Amino acid sequence: MNKEIDIDDLVLSAANEILENNQLIKLDDFFTGPESSIESIDIVQIISLVEDKIAEQGYEGFDIFDKVFEKESLKFKDLSKVIKELLNN
């Protein structure tokens, strides 16, 4: 559980894996909110994949779903920040 995780890379790789389009996702792109072009089902799948990848690193039961929707909108860099804060608590 003391492994250093590159959260930014984890978030972007999960998003790009789920979205499967030719557009490369960047940290400044919107993840949720009115300016996001991502479908709701894809958002849920990205969250689930991120949680799974974090669990593989030894953080069992890691849950970010509620935190993601506390804000009206999040960029991918904000999602990464939320995850880092939760991991450090």
Domains located in the chain, CATH noted: 7-87 (1.10.1200)
How far are the Cα atoms of 34, 74, 83 from residue 11, in angstroms, in the given order? 20, 13, 9
pLDDT of residue 50: 96
pLDDT in the model for residue 4: 62
CB atoms within 10 A of CB 22: 5
pLDDT in tens, 20-65: 776 789 999 999 999 999 999 999 999 999 999 999 988 888 899 9
Q: Is the CB of residue 32 less than 8 Å from the CB of residue 82?
A: no
Asked whether the predicted pLDDT for residue 9 surpasses 50, the reply is: yes
Confidence bin at 5 (pLDDT 50/70/90): confident
Name the band, by pLDDT with cuts 50, 70 and 90, for residue 70: very high
